[in-house]
Every structure is written in structure tokens, then in C-alpha cells.
Amino acid sequence: MTVIGLDDTDSRTEGMCTTYAAARLVECITDAGGTVDRTLLVRLNPAVEHKTRGNGALAVHCDLPAEQAVELATATLDMAAVDDPRTNPGVVIADCDPAAVPDPVRDHALAAVRRLLDIDTTRDRITAAGFEHAAVGNGRGLIGALAAVGAWRAVDDWTYERIAYRERERWGTDRIVDADSVRDAAKRHYPTVWDTVDRPSGYPVCVPRTPCPILYGIRGDDAEACRRVAADIESEPVARTHTFLTNQGTDAHLQIATLADLADDSAYRTSGTVREPPETQAGGHVFFVLGDGDVTVDCAAFEPTKRFRDRVRSLRVGDRLTVCGEVSDGTLKLEKFALRDRVETELVTPDCPDCGRSMSSAGRDQGYRCRDCDTHRDGKVHRQIDRDLERGWYEVPPVARRHIAKPLVRGGFDGPTHPER
């Protein structure tokens, strides 16, 4: 077996897409008489600053001899949008079974999903493993390419994406996709197929808005269901399709940590108590402060998370939460949270037991009294709060979901879930 990893062939301005380069590479391998077992689309740390969009790296598992694979893989670098100086493509070719890559390569893949890695260490790992490689520019693409090579050993939760690509001459033009056919097909296969449409707005989230070659991508837990949804979509002509095995929708990026252990440029699942209430700031972003012991962290639900912000606004000081999201500049950007313990009462000035009006202070540490009825209370009293937020997990809507974040509808969460669709 031969494993080919590739990354960083695309550009924000020039179009292209590494999944497309991989799909083309698969065609070249087949044309050369090889057989492809599978193609992986591995989403790496979403906090990487120089990513183009979703920080995806690709791996192709095939039976071509490694020397021949090196030739074909290197040729795909020519497809890269290297006119953009931020595009630094790399390929890594491993002459072994994907399940037999050395431990340091598996560990590199695990780390690439959760932390920031550097090019020099990556080059050392490639050399130590005895893998072939090729790169253009500063070689940054080798980080993701090696991670893609190690992914088969590092990932244990796989989902699928069926991608349809546009005809070359249409790249960069408006996409023609019939939104009704997307909605109907998505409805038939939900929840096996997820994040196809944002239901309240009807927006087809499966259709990208960037100038890349993708027409739409259908994500789900079953390859055949994804294929069926894709086949039922009415659209402009489809140039080619490809099904990828992927770690999308798995939460593989989240590290379990205490609030004190959070650091920038990684994503976490952590717990705490709401210390300062949610506040909507300029631009519609909602912030609150979460605390655990002496440590506090700002948590944010940004404007693009839309109706998720209403869930966040319903939080109250004292609520116990588990929160998930990426930390940057010391702020945790919420992807989902679980309301564990809910504050049910608040302390308020008592009402007079006789006339029902609010009592007034009887003086410092003297409690409250009603002058009209001459009644007295020792202090504030607990009043039941009418909470509109149930216990359990809440998430951002599909339109704001990170590729790697796990939709609640996939299940396996430790509490009731309130899925967005």
C-alpha cells in the first residue's frame, strides 16, 4: 500500500481546493492502473491562522508502487494556486499500509488537529519515518500532508462527504443549484445526512460561496445516503463527484481541560459557572464571563452564530456549564454548551403579606417593612425564576458550524440535546 498526503494547494483569491486536487489525483492513479481504497479529508486545528478556510488536508490510499505515486503526487503540486504567496503546497508519500504508519506520525496527526505545529519539526518527522516528500514555497503544506498520512491511525470516528465539482469554465461564477431540491433531498435523509440546509432560513449550507471548484458537499454518517442526497439535487452540470471519509462532525479538535489550563490557538471542552451575565456588544456579539475558582474566561457567541445567541442570552449568573470552543486572544468562541445546573431562584425585596406591595428597607441590617400595614420581614426572599432554557446541550446553527464540530444530532452526548437544524 501507498499513502499520499497533500495539503495547501488552494488560495482565498485564486480559487482551487485541496479536495479537488485529491479527486484529480485519484483519477490519475486509476488512469495509471492503480486502485484507490479510500480518500480521507482530514480537518486540522481550526485555530491555524494561515489556513485558507477549513484547514483540510487530504490522503489517498492506493496500491501503486511508491515511486509511481511520488511522480503523480508531485504533479498535483502543479495544480496548486502558487501565484498566491500564502499557498505553500506539500505532499508526503508513505510506502506502507495506512494502519502501519509509525507512532510519531500518528501522534503528529493527533497533534495537528489540536495544537500548532512547525515546519522544521515536521520535516524531521518525515525524514525519520523515511517518507518521500515534495513542497513548493516555504513547505508549510507538509505539516498537513504528514497529518493526513497519519490520520488513519489517529482518527476513530469517521463520517462522509460527497462532493460535486463544477465545470472548469464556471469556477468563480454564481452557482446554479435549485434550493428546493436540496431542501427536499436533505429532509428525506435527515438525520443520517446533516448540515445540508439551515432549516429556519432555508439556506443551503452545502453550497459554498467561495470561488472554489466545489458545487456542493453533502455530509453524513452513511456514504450511500450522502450519495443519494447529492444525486437528487438539481443544478448546473456536475463535472465530477467524489466521496471522502472525513473527521468532520466529530469534535476531534476539543481537548478536555480546566479553565486554568486554557491557552490560545486550541479548542477545548471545559466547565465553570457563569460569573457575569451575558451582554450584547457592538455588532451583535454576545459575551459573558465563566469562572472556576479564581480563574475567569470570557466566552463569546459571535453575530454569525445567529439564534444560538438567544440561548446564550438566557444564561444567568450562577448557572453551571460545560462549554466547547476555540480560544483566541483569551476568549473562548462558543461552538456549543451544556447547561448542567440551572439557577432556579433569585433574591428579591419581599412583598407585603397583607397588601402585596413591595416592602421598603427598614434601615441598614433592619430588614424590610410595610409602613401602611406595619408588617416586617428579616431580609430578601427567594423568588422562583421563570427560566426559558432547559438543561442540556445547545449548539450553533449549521450555517455557523465549524467543519470539525460535532452536530448534536449525531448523538453520544452526556445529557439531553437540543439540536439545531
Residue ranges that bind ligand ATP, judged by CB under 6 A: 7-8, 10, 17-18, 44-45, 48, 50-56, 88, 112, 115-117, 140-141, 143-144
Smallest distance from ligand ATP to CB 411, Å: 27
**Closest CB to ligand ATP among 247 and 417?**
247
**Closest CB to ligand ATP among 109 and 315?**
109
Smallest distance from ligand ATP to CB 332, Å: 19
Smallest distance from ligand ATP to CB 386, Å: 44
Smallest distance from ligand ATP to CB 304, Å: 17
CA angle 84, 8, 256 (to 5 degrees): 130
**Closest CB to ligand ATP among 18 and 39?**
18
**Closest CB to ligand ATP among 11 and 273?**
11
**Closest CB to ligand ATP among 8 and 319?**
8
* Contact present, 231 and 243 (Cβ < 8 Å): no
Smallest distance from ligand ATP to CB 112, Å: 4
**Closest CB to ligand ATP among 251 and 319?**
251
* Rg, the chain, Cα only: 26
**Closest CB to ligand ATP among 34 and 141?**
141
Estimate to the nearest angstrom the gap between the alpha carbon of 347 and the chain centroid: 39
Handedness of CA 259, 263, 264, 265 (dihedral sign): negative
Query: What residues contact residue 275 under an 8 Å CB cut-off, 6+ apart?
Result: 289, 290, 291, 296, 317
Smallest distance from ligand ATP to CB 47, Å: 8
- Angle, helices 103-114/141-154, rounded to nearest 10 degrees: 110
**Closest CB to ligand ATP among 10 and 161?**
10
**Closest CB to ligand ATP among 17 and 396?**
17
Smallest distance from ligand ATP to CB 12, Å: 9
Smallest distance from ligand ATP to CB 253, Å: 10
**Closest CB to ligand ATP among 51 and 306?**
51
Smallest distance from ligand ATP to CB 281, Å: 28
**Closest CB to ligand ATP among 114 and 309?**
114
Residue nearest to ligand ATP (CB): 144
* Grid cell listed for 71: 511522480
SS3 sequence of the chain:
CEEEEEECCCECCCECCHHHHHHHHHHHHHHCCCCEEEEEEEECCCCCCCCCCCCEEEEEEECCCHHHHHHHHHHHHCCCCCCCCCCCCEEEEECCCHHHCCHHHHHHHHHHHHCCCCHHHHHHHHHHHCCEEEECCCCCHHHHHHHHHHHHHHCCCCEEEEEEEECHHHCCCCCCECHHHHHHHHHHHCCCEECCCECCCCECCCCCCCCCCEEEEEEECCHHHHHHHHHCCCECCEEEEEEEEECCCCCCCEEECCHHHCCCCEEEEEEEEEEEEEEECHHHCEEEEEEECCEEEEEEECHHHCCHHHHHHCCCCCCEEEEEEEEECCEEEEEEEEEEECCCEEEECCECCCCCCECEECCCCCCEEECCCCEEECCCEEEECCCCCCCEEEECCHHHCCCCCCCHHHCCCCCCEECCC
Smallest distance from ligand ATP to CB 124, Å: 15
Smallest distance from ligand ATP to CB 392, Å: 31
In this structure, the dihedral spanned by the alpha carbons of residues 410, 415, 418 and 421, taken in order and rounded to 10 degrees, is -10
